Amino acid sequence: MNVSTLKLTLAAAAVLAATQAVAGPVGYGAATTGGGNKAAVNVSSLADMAAKIKAYSGSGGLVLNYTGKFDFASIKDVCAQWKKPAQTLEIKGKNDITIRGAADSSANFGIRIVGDSSNVIVQNMTIGLLQGGEDADSISIEGTSSGKPSKVWIDHNTIFASIKSCPGAGDASFDGGIDMKKGANHITVSYNYVYNYQKVALNGYSEKDTLNAGSLTTYHNNRFENVKSRLPLLRYGKAHIFNNYFGNVDTSGINVRMGAMALVESNYFENVRNPVTSRDSAKLGYWDLRSNFVGSGITWGAPEDGIYANATDWKTTKAYGPTGYNYTASAAAGVKAKAIATAGARTNLAQ
């Protein structure tokens, strides 16, 4: 084998390695298997998908391959969206489900995993510019009196809205990107691309949501760009946040509140205001900071009122302790390039 052929072979191997399908989740959602190896059922619309889930027994495995397409260019006025009724696919009381978007699919509806639903995967979906304002999260995982969702993997999705402040709605023109609350637990959020969002990721419904005290969430290899806040907003509970890219964040990044604990490891921050902070709650949270890359454009500020703390010295305020799972954090300096290449839908589930 000559040198040229060897170089081409190595390059092809590198591309293959970068685009191999993900074997399974890493982190607190590692036990999630979704619908497993069940044969995929094609669905082309929200109604079709909802009908298949309704007809499903609730356990044993269901894999839905979403093939629908939405023309986002058809939305001429983003500020008209919040006035329209929300469109949401609800998974309630059903387990062992995988929802996976086809390569060129796109959706103008949200996905809500609610109640005693467990073992659910949402992967390779492109979701944007939802109707419904505060009633419409792109992805919502929420406990109810009937139970609390667990073992959930949100992976390789592209989620976007608009940061335009619309008359009559303000920052509620579009609601959460990936929200979890009321006891949702054992969740991994990985390789997602979230952009043009005002409120990216809520974790803990309110200061009274003590059900969230036991929540365990992993955020890794996500790309958060051109957003305002909640990366995540963490009330109570624990979160491991590693190898994520944070770029062009207008208000605040990781906001750890109400005694919550975050392990912030090997992330890449640039052009971020208040990248790691605790504000807007009656009690502060804590952080363990390890090996992060802090680029240009980092600024700090105080909230309008109340107690707060900023990680201006990039020092740990409380040790996180062991995560309880195996993982490998890449060097932070390479996180931006990797996120651009691998995060989001339509990347062939690249890692």
Q: Which residues are annotated as catalytic?
A: 230
User: 307 pairs with which residues across the strands?
Assistant: none
User: 310 pairs with which residues across the strands?
Assistant: 277
- Asked whether the beta carbons of 149 and 120 are under 8 A apart, the reply is yes
Here the tokens at position 25 are 């989740």
**213 Rama sector, left if φ>0, alpha if ψ -120 to 50, beta otherwise:** alpha
CA-closest candidate to residue 258, choices 285, 220, 279? 285
3-class secondary structure, 87? coil
Here the tokens at position 316 are 């740990």
CA–CA separation, 221 vs 213, rounded Å? 24
Q: How far from each other are the two terminal CA atoms of the chain, in whole angstroms?
A: 29
3-class secondary structure, 226? strand
CA-closest candidate to residue 274, choices 288, 253, 294, 257? 253
Phi, psi dihedral angles at 16 (to 5 degrees): -60, -45
Here the tokens at position 150 are 């667990």
3-class secondary structure, 64? strand
- Asked whether the beta carbons of 260 and 285 are under 8 A apart, the reply is yes
CA–CA separation, 8 vs 340, rounded Å? 23
Look-up: residue for tokens 């979704």?
Answer: 34
- Asked whether the beta carbons of 11 and 176 are under 8 A apart, the reply is no
Pairing type for strands 308-310 and 276-279 reads antiparallel
